[in-house]
């Protein structure tokens, strides 16, 4: 069992009907984290209710704490991160796009003294096989906008594989309930003067089940998040 009563690392996974991905995901995490004090937090559900498949049942079998969120992905992440007991908090998708072995890089970033460690598909060693050309162009535009407006040096935006120090997470005072959450993190971490680092990450194609995030809706949420945090 991965559970520890005094976890050092909390891995938070938002889920919505991911049953066919759960066993490979959770067994992959277990293998990498074996011997570490960590907890798994699965935050399930959307505005339309909880997953209707066996996602939650499988997560329970792997010893995850289960929380429910009745809004978008942002609320799910925030609920999970707020409930986390570790000193190192990690956010990770359930669709096998995020490689469990990279957990070690993300944890190392926080243990080396940073508050936010962001996986980047555009650093050497990273990459993606899950992004269309259009998404790539839109992502680059958002990166440019955020870096220009907020004075940051990110190479990636809108990517959900990242880690936080407990205190850094609290200092950001995040609010986004929807798809702007990743952009909000990038912006507020910079504004709060957190110590930020990126590590390369390779995003694999979603393994099974349908994508839950609708790309153009995400684009609008992110754009509105970028502008509403100015000033
Ligand atoms: N709890 C919850 N999880 C969500 C919601 N939308 C997406 N997710 C999860 O967030 C992760 C990323 O979603 P995905 O559809 O792969 O988005 P993409 O990678 O941006 O195309 C997956 O683990 C999804 O199950 C939501 O409304 N609620
Ligand atoms: Mg995905």
Q: What is the CATH number of the domain that holds 221?
A: 3.90.550.10
Q: Is residue 104 part of a domain?
A: yes
pLDDT at 231 over 90: no
pLDDT at 126 over 50: yes
Is the Cβ–Cβ distance between 154 and 143 less than 8 Å?
yes
Q: How far is the CA of 16 from the centre of ligand 1 (A)?
A: 6
Question: The domain containing residue 29 runs over which residues?
Answer: 9-228
What is the total count of domains within the chain? 1
pLDDT at 90 over 50: yes
Ligand 1 atom at minimal distance to the Cα of residue 43: 1
pLDDT at 1 over 60: no
Mean predicted confidence (pLDDT) in 98-116: 98
Q: Is residue 103 part of a domain?
A: yes
Q: Is residue 172 part of a domain?
A: yes
Q: Is residue 210 part of a domain?
A: yes
Percent of the chain with pLDDT over 70: 98
More confident residue, 215 or 106: 106
Ligand 1 atom at minimal distance to the Cα of residue 218: 20
pLDDT at 107 over 90: yes
Q: Is residue 84 part of a domain?
A: yes
Mutate to test the pocket of ligand 1, among 20, 42, 212, 221 (most ligand atoms within 8 A of CB): 212
Class of residue 49 by CB neighbours under 10 A (exposed 0-12, middle 13-18, buried 19+): exposed
Q: Is residue 2 part of a domain?
A: no
Both structure tokens of 204: 């694999």
Mutate to test the pocket of ligand 1, among 93, 179, 204 (most ligand atoms within 8 A of CB): 93
Mean predicted confidence (pLDDT) in 156-175: 96
> What pairs with residue 197 in β-bridges?
117
pLDDT tens digits for 35-86? 999 999 999 999 999 999 999 999 999 999 999 999 889 999 999 999 999 9
Q: Is residue 4 part of a domain?
A: no
Residue 177: what are its φ and ψ, rounded to 5°?
-95, -20
pLDDT tens digits for 187-221? 999 999 999 999 999 999 999 999 998 889 999 99
For the chain, state the CA radius of gyration.
Answer: 16
132 alpha-carbon distance from chain centroid: 20
Tell me the C-alpha distance between 94 and 88, whole Å: 19
Residue of the nearest CA to atom 18 in ligand 1? 213
Tell me the C-alpha distance between 60 and 3, whole Å: 11
Q: Is residue 3 part of a domain?
A: no
Percent of the chain with pLDDT over 90: 93
Mean predicted confidence (pLDDT) in 88-101: 98
Mean predicted confidence (pLDDT) in 124-128: 97
Mean predicted confidence (pLDDT) in 146-156: 98
Mutate to test the pocket of ligand 1, among 28, 213, 216, 219 (most ligand atoms within 8 A of CB): 213
């Amino acid at each position: 069992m991965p559970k520890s009563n005094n976890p050092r690392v909390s891995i938070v996974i938002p889920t919505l009907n991911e049953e066919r991905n759960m066993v490979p995901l959770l067994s992959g995490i277990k293998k990498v984290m074996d011997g570490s004090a960590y907890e798994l937090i699965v935050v399930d559900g959307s505005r339309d209710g909880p997953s209707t498949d066996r996602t939650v049942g499988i997560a329970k079998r792997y010893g995850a704490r289960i929380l429910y969120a009745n809004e978008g992905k942002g609320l799910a992440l925030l609920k999970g991160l707020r409930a986390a007991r570790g000193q190192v908090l990690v956010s990770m998708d359930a669709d096998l796009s995020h490689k469990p072995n990279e957990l070690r890089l993300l944890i190392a970033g926080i243990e080396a003294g940073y508050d936010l460690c962001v996986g980047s598909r555009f650093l050497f060693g990273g990459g993606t096989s899950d992004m269309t050309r259009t998404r790539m162009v839109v992502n680059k535009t958002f990166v440019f906008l955020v870096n220009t407006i907020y004075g940051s040096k990110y190479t990636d935006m809108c990517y959900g594989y990242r880690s936080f120090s407990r205190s850094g997470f609290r200092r950001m005072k995040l609010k986004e309930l929807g798809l702007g959450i990743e952009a909000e993190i990038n912006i507020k971490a910079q504004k709060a003067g957190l110590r930020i680092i990126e590590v390369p990450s390779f995003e694999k194609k979603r393994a099974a089940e349908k994508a839950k995030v609708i790309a153009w809706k995400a684009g609008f949420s992110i754009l509105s998040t970028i502008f509403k945090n100015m000033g």
